[in-house]
Amino acid sequence: MSGDFVKLVSADGYTFVVPRNVALQSGTLRSMLDPTGNFTEAETNTCHIQYRGVIVLKVIEYLAYKLQYLDTSSDEIVEDFSDRVDPYIALELLTASDFLEV
């Protein structure tokens, strides 16, 4: 079971269990979970992300959105993710997206 899901822990202690293929959409998480890297994260399938839970939640939501449209031409995507982002968290989300390479 643990092979299919990974645990993402936010700075304020929220835990998110997400499918591995969703988490792997992020470059940083992919490196963390890379079994050849010998990181603790890869062994325990748990990644600590130093952002607030609300940010991590939104990032995970985006990762799922990204995975869903992975093979769709950009023109055909009608669902606009920016409708789902509260402007209040936009700046923090920007720094998180930069860190997590999404």
Partner 1 sequence: MSRARRGTGAVRGPASALTSFLAGLGVQPSAPLTTWGNSTAINGQLAADGPVIDPTAELDPAGAVTARNVEAGPSTVADGKRARSASMNSDDLDAPVQHDSLQAVGEFMTCAECDKQFTVTAYTKPRPKGGHLCVPCCYALGIDPFAKAKVKKVAKKAPQKEARTVKRFEDRRGAPGLGDICIQIIGKYIEDVEQLGDIGHVNMDKVCRIISRGRLLTPETAQLFYASDREELVMYDCTRLVHESYLAMANLCPNLYTLRLHYCGQLTTDALVHISRLPLRIIELYGPFLVREAGWKALFENCNLESFLITQSPRFDLALLENLLAQCPQLKHLRLDEIGKLDNAFLPLIAQFPLISLDISSPTHHLSDEAFVLPSTVQSLTLLDHPELTDEILPTIAKLPLHTLKLSLMPELTDAGVATLFQTLTNLSHVDLEKGHDLADAALISLIESSAATLTTLSILGWREVSSDALAHLTRCVKLTQLNLGWCRQVTDFLLKDLLDACPDLNTIYVWGCNQLTDAAPRRRGVKIVGIETHSL
Residue 54 parent element (H or E): helix 53-68
| Half-sphere exposure for 10 (CA within 13 Å, toward CB) | 17
Beta-bridge partner residues of 8: 16, 47
Of 1 and 36, nearer to partner 1 (C-beta) is: 36
Long-range contacts of the stretch 17-24 (C-beta < 8 A, 24+): 18/60, 18/63, 18/64, 20/45, 21/67, 22/60, 22/63, 22/64, 22/67, 23/47, 23/60, 23/63
User: Least separation, in Å, of the C-beta of 38 and partner 1?
Assistant: 12
The site for partner 1 (CB under 8 A) is made up of 59, 62, 65-66, 69-74, 77, 81-82, 85, 87-95, 97-98, 102
Of 3 and 88, nearer to partner 1 (C-beta) is: 88
Can you tell me the distance from the alpha carbon of 97 to that of 10, in angstroms, rounded to the nearest whole number?
14
User: Least separation, in Å, of the C-beta of 48 and partner 1?
Assistant: 19
User: Least separation, in Å, of the C-beta of 11 and partner 1?
Assistant: 14
User: Least separation, in Å, of the C-beta of 2 and partner 1?
Assistant: 27
Of 3 and 73, nearer to partner 1 (C-beta) is: 73
Of 44 and 81, nearer to partner 1 (C-beta) is: 81
